[in-house]
Amino acid sequence: MKKLICIFILATITCIVTKAADFSSMRGVWASDSAEAVVTDHACIFFENTPSGMRAFLDVPSYNIHSRTTLADSTFITEESAPLQMSSEGKKLKIGNKTLEKVEDITVCEPYERPAAISKLEIGKRLQEWRLGAAYGREGTFTFCEINTNRHLFIYMINPTMTYIRAAATRNNNNGTLFFQNIRMMQNKNTGEFTSHIMPGNLAIAREDLVIDDSKFQPDKCTFTPEGGIYWSLISFTPDEILINGCGETYRVSRAASPQTKDEYFKYTPYTSEAEGLNFFH
């Protein structure tokens, strides 16, 4: 699946954007206990828990994408939808009947060449910075959007065999990545997995910095915590690629030296101090 995603990201860079929709006044990550949204200048992924179950939306007007995925009769139905109706005022965002609080700012920047990984003392920064940005598009029955911020990772992917939609809080250090998936909508026809879930206390999870327990990193495997955290441990690195243990497969985080591998680039922002983080894992 990871290989497929990488291929698609590279394919999308050849697409021509005909009209640039501007969501910049609402840019950021927003959350409540029953909803979450990430908004860039040109794309939005929105998740909400409703009385009938989870549903998610992807709006990318520049690619004419207005997609809705809804839980119905123990399956996910994806169809075209009307553009999301969004409005913001201060630190609040309203989408439909949901009001969300801003939990992270996003600063868009010009494409740039990311720093190489020269020392293990820089691995945490490189893992964070190399993932940053947004890529999206549609090719036939394949609709895809990946948006990675300094503190969150988002995916909305639909193809004939898989619905994969999720939001996750994340934090990195020189030993690897702590990944905490707070929203997951997955239907995999190959493996039989079907998941539709939003974590209780979603606002706090999205708002607070995660705190890493270094004893959980183990280079020969990933570690699961009872609360739902996953530790992806550093295996090795070169100046242009970092390998981490991804629970059954090796995840490759690339420097992506070409400045054209993303549709939108985001500015790297260091984490707040550990003391300010909310520790879900002790």
Q: Above 60 in pLDDT, residue 98?
A: yes
R_g of the chain computed on alpha carbons: 18
pLDDT tens-digit readout, 182-224: 999 999 999 999 999 999 999 999 999 999 999 999 988 889 9
Residue 281 has pLDDT above 70, yes or no: no
What confidence score (pLDDT) does residue 13 get? 29
Question: pTM higher than 0.85 for the full model?
Answer: yes
The torsion angles phi and psi of 256, rounded to 5 degrees, stand at 50, 65
pLDDT above 90: percentage of residues in the chain: 78
Distant-in-sequence, close-in-space partners of 20: CB < 8 Å, separation ≥ 6: 41, 42, 62
d(CA 51, CA 39) in angstroms, rounded, equals: 24
Rounded to an integer, what is the distance from CA 191 to the centroid of its chain? Answer: 22
Q: What is the pLDDT of residue 21?
A: 64
**Token code pair at residue 215:** 């004893």
Residue 59, judged by CB atoms within 10 A of its CB (0-12, 13-18, 19+), counts as buried
Question: How much is the average pLDDT of 107-116?
Answer: 93
pLDDT at 128 over 50: yes
Reported as type and span, the H/E element at residue 26 is none
Indicate if the pLDDT at residue 157 is higher than 90: yes
**What is the enclosing helix (H) or strand (E) of 128?**
helix 123-131
Non-local CB neighbours of 160 within 8 Å, separated by 6+ positions: 141
Q: What is the pLDDT of residue 56?
A: 98
Q: What is the mean pLDDT of the chain?
A: 88
Write down the pLDDT at residue 273.
Answer: 61
Q: Listing from the earlier edge strand, what are the strands of the sheet with 53-60?
A: 75-80, 65-72, 53-60, 44-50, 35-39, 28-31, 98-104, 92-95, 86-89
